[in-house]
Structure 1
Amino acid sequence: MNPFEMVIGIVLIVTIGSVVRSLLGLRGDHKGNEYAVHDRASDDRLVEEIRRLRDEVKVLKERQAVIERITVEKESSLEREIERLRDQ
């Protein structure tokens, strides 16, 4: 076998392996050479989790705004009460 045939053989083997992996739904793990089955359901779960976390952050920001408003109102009402007591 000459070097040209060997290179063609290696390229052919790698190409066939890539095609078979894609047909079986396998994808490479970037942390190693392990392969995992690509699970569409896990992607859907991740999207749902992201959506849920965004909604939770939105609710928490609204609650923080309410707490800030209450705090400011209490401070201003406390100042008014102090001024009222001074005026007496």
Structure 2
Amino acid sequence: MEDKIQIISVLFPFIATIVAIAIGGWVITTWLRIKHGYPLDGAWGQALHPSGSKEAVERVKLLTQENAQLRAEIGSIKDRLANVERIVTDDSSRLAREIDNLQITRN
């Protein structure tokens, strides 16, 4: 009995290491499949594919368009904010000169 316990205590670190390597390999393989767009396998080996209904595809297109519009709007808001920050931080005499120059060029 004591011999069996001693053998198990010697083999346990090796078995635990092999199990940890196998699980780590599975995790890395799954991560690489997801990263590169390969289909995942289910519990019984069947391929799992995301559902791609027409409604979902249309929703993605609409969200992509809305995202592009919002990014453009944020860009224009950043430009306006930069101008406001420039006006606020400039000294008043320089600002007055620029306003006078704008009025002169407008007339």
TM-score by length of 2: 0.41
TM-score, normalization by structure 1 = 0.49
Highest RCO, 1 vs 2 (Cα 8 Å, sep ≥ 6): 1
